[in-house]
């Protein structure tokens, strides 16, 4: 009754208004109703995947956790292998089963071929014109083709073997000095240094540390990795992007980019000078800068390839190769030191193949079947990137019976899949023998085991990484025995805590005492 009386009074008041005022008011009311109707129509009704309860404004950000691969596995057990989260204003799909990973990376690979591009990546990676963050399209296809055929082919990977051998020799000398004094060595730091030096020499033709000890590219690349992973408010709440300017985040990233750009300019100019002088013309001695400059100079590229494109790909090669390799090496050594019987079995195989030779060659590596089982098992338990580099939908996609809206970020929880008890027996135990005569390998076709991803977006540097892992571990195990520092320390008590970042390394560096092996 009260509502009826209110409407009657409003109708009387409207009649008393001048005609122009009445028309203006009616126009405003109809405009508001029309806008509301459009807004309701503008939001299609999706059949969305299940989602955990959300908090206002932040959505599910609080459930992402400090170790997202672990937090998301717990949530997926409750909400299913296809789960939708809202991270601020960003729809985020999490895939946590073999079948759904296969569907995403094989059957519907092209539907999920884009990459989300965050603020830091757009600044640091030359507008995301690298391989890792570039959107799927003609530029990405051509750039990847260059990398796969010219930079990361099996033949090219083998051509860099002399670099691996030289760096392993330097590392071996350092370890031998520690053997004399029986002092612990920081294995983690040692593996980071050799990984950085190998990829830096292959990419730029120089080590990241100059002889005077002054860090150049190594320091800058680490700043890049930190900033790519740093929380940026504008990426999750676009209307708060101005806060990132006030906090200094944007100026910090831009400062890193300017230093990095100057460094690349100098490297490229140095290479051009040498190339024009004709001093170096041995293909097996060329680094990535040489190769790209020759392709550009000789008109062998089928698309416009700018200097900025070249620099973006160079940075991509380093970021994609150095940190993932050192992280994988660290976990392999940690698992072997924690499991001395397995380490002894691997050493017996390696030493039996090498015999009395003073060095290990590629033919020896090809015969080390148990070593490959050890590496595979460590990659299963500790994939360097536990959540594959995210993908993004360009349009609405039907997936797993659900509607996935456009601009949805997509994570595949590789860590959870590779520890799925439905696929792996005793999934949390380190058992290399499970890979003996196993049908699974890490080339990206077996979605039960895909530490380097799969489909169009799998890691193009897979062959490069495999060559480094095999050769470095074989040398560390062949010439040295390893034990934890301390008289009463049991190998099984070695901590295996993780820390999340661009990769997922051990939280605490691995220290061990080396002893020179004598037959």
510 φ/ψ angles, rounded to the nearest 5 degrees: -90, 120
What gap in Å lies between CA 6 and CA 24, rounded to an integer?
21
Half-sphere exposure of 318 (CA within 13 A, CB side): 33
Contact 220, 252 (CB under 8 A): no
Question: Any idea how long the chain is?
Answer: 519
Contacts 24+ apart (CB under 8 A), 260-267: 260/124, 260/220, 260/224, 260/315, 261/311, 263/216, 263/217, 263/220, 264/311, 264/314, 264/315, 267/204, 267/205, 267/206
Alpha helix locations (H) across 278-381?
288-297, 307-338, 340-354, 362-366, 369-381
Contact 396, 406 (CB under 8 A): yes
Q: Which residues make beta-bridge pairs with 398?
A: 403
512: which DSSP letter?
Answer: E
Instruction: Cite the beta strand spans of 202-257 per DSSP E.
Output: none
Buried b (16+ CB within 10 A) or exposed e, 93-130: bbbbbbebbbbbbeebbebbbbbbbbbbbebbbbebbb
Count CB-CB contacts under 10 A for residue 391: 26
202 carries a ligand binding annotation: no
Residue stretches of the annotated binding site for heme = 459
Residue stretches of the annotated binding site = 459
């Amino acid at each position: 009754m009260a509502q009826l009386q209110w409407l009657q009074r409003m109708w009387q008041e409207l009649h008393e208004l001048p005609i122009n005022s009445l028309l203006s008011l009616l126009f405003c009311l109809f405009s508001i109703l029309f806008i509301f109707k459009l807004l309701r129509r503008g939001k299609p009704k999706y059949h969305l995947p299940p989602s955990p309860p959300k908090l206002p404004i932040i959505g599910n950000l609080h459930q992402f956790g400090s170790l997202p691969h672990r937090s998301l596995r717990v949530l997926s057990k409750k909400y299913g292998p296809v789960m939708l989260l809202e991270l601020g204003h960003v729809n985020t799909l999490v895939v946590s089963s073999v079948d759904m990973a296969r569907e995403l990376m094989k059957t519907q690979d092209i539907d999920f071929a884009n990459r989300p591009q965050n603020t830091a990546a757009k600044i640091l990676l030359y507008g995301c014109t690298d391989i890792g963050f570039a959107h799927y399209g003609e530029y990405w296809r051509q750039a990847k083709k260059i990398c796969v055929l010219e930079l990361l082919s099996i033949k090219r990977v083998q051509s860099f073997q002399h670099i691996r051998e030289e760096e392993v020799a330097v590392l071996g000398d350092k370890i031998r000095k520690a053997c004399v004094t029986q002092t612990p060595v920081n294995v983690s730091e040692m593996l980071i240094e050799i990984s950085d030096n190998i990829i830096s020499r292959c990419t730029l033709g120089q080590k990241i540390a100059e002889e005077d000890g002054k860090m150049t590219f190594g320091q800058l690349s680490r700043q890049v990795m930190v900033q790519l992973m740093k929380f940026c408010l504008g990426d999750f709440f676009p209307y708060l992007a101005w806060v990132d300017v006030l906090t200094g985040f944007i100026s910090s990233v831009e400062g890193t980019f300017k230093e990095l750009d100057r460094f690349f300019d100098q490297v490229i100019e140095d290479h051009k000078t040498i190339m024009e002088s004709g001093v170096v013309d041995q293909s097996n001695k060329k680094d990535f800068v040489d190769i790209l400059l020759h392709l550009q100079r000789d008109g062998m590229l089928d698309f416009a390839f700018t200097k900025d494109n070249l620099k973006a790909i160079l940075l991509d090669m380093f970021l994609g190769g150095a940190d993932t390799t050192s992280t994988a090496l660290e976990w392999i050594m940690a698992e072997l030191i924690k499991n001395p019987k397995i380490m002894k079995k691997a050493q017996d195989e390696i030493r039996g193949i090498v015999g009395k030779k003073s060095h290990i060659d590629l033919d020896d590596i090809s015969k080390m079947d148990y070593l490959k089982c050890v590496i595979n098992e460590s990659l299963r338990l500790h994939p360097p990137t536990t959540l594959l580099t995210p993908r993004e939908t360009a349009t609405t996609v039907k997936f797993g019976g659900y509607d996935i809206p456009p601009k949805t970020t997509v994570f595949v929880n590789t860590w959870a899949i590779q520890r799925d008890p439905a696929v792996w027996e005793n999934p949390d135990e380190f058992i290399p023998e499970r890979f003996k005569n196993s049908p699974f390998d890490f080339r990206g076709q077996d979605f039960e085991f895909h530490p380097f991803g799969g489909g169009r977006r799998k890691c193009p540097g897979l062959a490069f990484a495999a060559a480094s892992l095999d050769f470095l571990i074989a040398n560390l195990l062949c010439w040295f025995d390893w034990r934890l520092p301390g008289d009463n320390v049991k190998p099984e008590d070695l901590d295996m805590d993780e820390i999340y970042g661009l990769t997922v390394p051990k939280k605490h560096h691995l220290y061990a005492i080396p002893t020179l092996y004598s037959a």
